[in-house]
């Protein structure tokens, strides 16, 4: 495959197309990612183009990662935090033809999964994300910049949905009729959040904000968690962001792209493993309010993701790449079904949480 990778970018890191093997990898929706294998080295690297229509200030990402990397290196020198490799000019990013690039070390003997096939993987992943939050418990979250302002602000996402609804073409609104009803009828999730958001023991913490399984590296033989990756959205937020996104992406055997809604079911052993893994790190740190909101975290994030897909559908698919016209609507349907499944299993899920909090 011919890769449209500018040779200036490689040059910034001291390589040429002749002395390196390049493969495009990753399944993320936002950034383009390549694996670089320099022929003369044993080490490999990950090269990523930062999507600046999403991340308007790449410098904010670089500043956040530097501050966190320094803090972790000082306080927890054994912790593996994947920080960017400097360019040949000792810069944190390569700025080439108005695009920003950064390079990261590739961690050998690890794999990243796209789907979970064993509850142990949920445990390991949840433990890794929990560990990052635990180690950063005393790091001043407010010293970090919001790399996407309002990223997990449900009130803002709801407002954006209403705006898109008011401006949408009639045809799109008709096609999305049921999902629009769903979006409106679940607004109580936002209202509930608003009530809690004023509590003093519901702090801002350093959150990863994108805790899907492919953002954890596992040992390729033992499947033990090694470290977390995709650190662009590390910024201040509430704990519900991370645990909620794990529920959104670990509990069902099929992803947000699945269109057969009969397949959208909650796997209780995966829920239990996620809770156990996360609490193995965070139980002693979460406040009483946060503990009350554990199950709510899943509803909050799933509802927000449904709103985001629906909003994008109604406004002409400007954010999430699609492979067919109604894909964002289908994704929204999928997420509303998942939300409904959580509600249907609420009692069992809450029992599991309580058993693991004692
Ligand atoms: C985006 O690019 P990716 O796949 O890591 C999005 C997440 C969504 C996710 C849904 C910056 O993540 O918030 O949950 O798609 N990231 C951004 O698949 O918008
Ligand atoms: Mg991401």
- Written in H, E and C, the secondary structure of 245-289 is HHHHHHCCCCCCCCCCHHHCCCCHHHHHHHHHHHHHHHCCCCCHH
> Mean pLDDT for the chain?
96
Going from the Cα of 98 to the center of ligand 1, the distance in angstroms, rounded, reads: 23
Fold agreement between 7-106 and 119-357: no
Distances (CA, A) of 100 to 15, 60, 65, 149, 186: 17, 12, 15, 19, 39
Taking residue 260's Cβ as centre, other Cβ atoms within 10 Å add up to: 8
Helix-helix angle 327-344:294-314, to 10 degrees: 160
Q: What is the pLDDT of residues 181-191, one digit of tens each?
A: 999 999 999 99
Phi, psi for 18 (deg, rounded to 5): -75, -30
Task: Say what percent of the chain tops pLDDT 90.
Answer: 95
In this structure, the residue with its CA closest to atom 15 of ligand 1 is 29
Q: What percent of the chain has pLDDT over 70?
A: 99
Query: What would the pLDDT profile of 163-208 be if each residue is shown by its tens digit?
Result: 999 999 999 999 999 999 999 999 999 999 999 999 999 999 999 9
SS3 call for 96: strand
The CB-side HSE value for 348 (13 A sphere, CA atoms) comes to 12
Ligand 1 atom at minimum distance from 209 CA: 13
CA 283 to ligand 2 centroid distance, Å: 26
Tokens standing for 50? 């930062």
User: Residue 5 pLDDT more than 90?
Assistant: no
> What's the N-to-C CA distance of the chain in angstroms?
54
List the domain boundaries for the chain.
7-106, 119-357
- pLDDT tens per residue, range 128-163: 999 999 999 999 999 999 999 999 999 999 999 999
Mean pLDDT of 256-260: 97
Atom of ligand 1 nearest to the CA of 29: 2
Residue 1 reports pLDDT greater than 80: no
User: Ligand 2 centre and the CA of 53: distance in Å?
Assistant: 14
Q: How far apart are CA 330 and CA 98, in angstroms?
A: 34
Query: Whose atoms come closest to the Cα of 248: which ligand?
Result: 1
Which ligand ends up closest to the CA of 152?
Answer: 1
- Collapse the DSSP code of 225 into the 3-class scheme (helix H, G, I; strand E, B; otherwise coil) and give the result: strand
Q: Provide the pLDDT for residue 34.
A: 93
Whether 27 shows a pLDDT value over 50: the answer reads: yes
Q: How far is CA 224 from the centre of its chain?
A: 20
Model pLDDT, residue 25: 87
What does DSSP assign to residue 326? T
Q: Residue of the nearest CA to atom 9 in ligand 1? A: 29
Give domain 7-106's CATH architecture: 2-Layer Sandwich (3.30)
> pLDDT tens across 85-143, in order?
999 999 999 999 999 999 999 999 999 998 999 999 999 999 999 999 999 999 999 99
Q: Which residue, by CA, sits nearest to atom 5 of ligand 1?
A: 28
Q: Which residue in this structure is represented by tokens 């239990």?
A: 272
The pLDDT assigned to 129 comes to: 98
- Is the pLDDT score of 8 beyond 80? yes
Burial 142-163 (b: 16+ CB within 10 A, else e): eebebbbeebbbbeebbebbee
- For 275-328, write each residue's pLDDT tens digit: 999 999 999 999 999 999 999 999 999 999 999 999 999 999 999 999 999 999
Distance between Cα 208 and ligand 2 center (Å): 9
- What 3-state DSSP class applies to 121? helix
Could you tell me which of 26, 75, 76 has the C-alpha nearest to residue 232? 26
Sign of CA dihedral 151, 155, 156, 157: positive
Strand locations in the chain (E) = 20-25, 32-38, 45-50, 94-96, 99-105, 110-111, 205-207, 216-219, 225-228, 235-237
Which residues neighbour 353 within 8 Å (Cβ) at sequence distance 6 or greater? 275, 294, 295
Cα(210) to centroid of ligand 1, in Å?
Answer: 7
Q: Which of 13-22, 260-269, 329-338 has the lowest mean pLDDT?
A: 13-22
Assign 2 a pLDDT band (cuts: 50, 70, 90): very low
CB within 8 A of 266, min separation 6: which ones? 251, 252, 338, 341, 342, 345, 349
Q: Choose which residue among 25, 26, 30, 321 to substitute to test ligand 1 binding: the one with the highest number of ligand atoms within 8 A of its C-beta.
A: 30
Q: State residue 30's pLDDT score.
A: 80
User: Tell me, what's the pLDDT at 3?
Assistant: 64
CATH number of 119-357: 3.90.1200.10
Cα torsion 166, 168, 174, 178 to 10°: value is: -60
Ligand 1 centroid to Cα of residue 72, in Å, is: 26
Q: Answer positive or negative: Cα dihedral of 168, 172, 173, 178.
A: negative
Give the residue, by CA position, lying nearest to ligand 1 atom 18: 29
Give CA–CA dist 37/128, Å, rounded. Answer: 27
């Amino acid at each position: 495959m011919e890769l449209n990778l500018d040779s200036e970018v490689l040059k910034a890191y001291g390589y040429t197309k002749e002395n390196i093997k390049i493969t495009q990898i990753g399944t993320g929706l936002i950034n383009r990612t390549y694996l670089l294998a320099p022929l003369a080295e044993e080490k490999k690297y990950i090269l990523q183009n930062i999507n600046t229509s999403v991340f308007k200030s790449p410098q904010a990402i670089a500043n956040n990662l530097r501050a966190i990397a320094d803090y972790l290196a000082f306080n927890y020198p054994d912790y593996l935090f994947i920080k960017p490799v400097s360019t040949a000019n000792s810069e944190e990013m390569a700025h080439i033809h108005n695009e920003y690039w950064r390079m990261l070390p590739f961690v050998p003997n690890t794999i990243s999964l796209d789907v979970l096939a064993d509850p142990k993987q949920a445990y390991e992943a949840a433990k890794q994300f929990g560990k990052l939050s635990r180690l950063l418990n005393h790091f001043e979250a407010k010293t970090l910049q919001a790399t996407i302002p309002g990223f997990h602000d449900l009130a803002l996402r709801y407002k954006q949905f209403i705006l898109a609804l008011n401006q949408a073409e009639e045809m799109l609104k008709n096609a999305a009729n049921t999902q629009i009803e769903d979006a409106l009828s679940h607004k109580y999730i936002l209202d509930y959040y608003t009530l809690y958001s004023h509590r003093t023991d519901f702090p801002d913490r350093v959150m990863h904000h994108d805790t899907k399984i492919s953002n954890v590296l596992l040992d390729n033989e033992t499947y033990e968690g090694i470290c977390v990756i995709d650190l662009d959205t590390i910024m201040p937020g509430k704990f519900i962001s991370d645990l909620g996104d794990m529920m959104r992406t670990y509990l069902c055997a099929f992803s947000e792209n699945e269109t057969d809604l009969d397949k959208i079911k909650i796997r209780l052993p995966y829920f239990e493993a996620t809770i156990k893994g996360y609490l193995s790190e965070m139980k002693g740190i979460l406040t009483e309010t946060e503990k009350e909101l554990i199950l709510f975290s899943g509803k909050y994030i799933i509802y927000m993701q449904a709103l985001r897909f629906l909003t994008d559908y109604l406004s002409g698919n400007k954010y999430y790449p699609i492979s067919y016209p109604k894909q964002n609507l289908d994704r929204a349907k999928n997420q509303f079904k998942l939300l409904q499944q959580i509600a249907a299993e609420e009692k069992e899920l809450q029992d599991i949480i309580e058993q693991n909090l004692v």
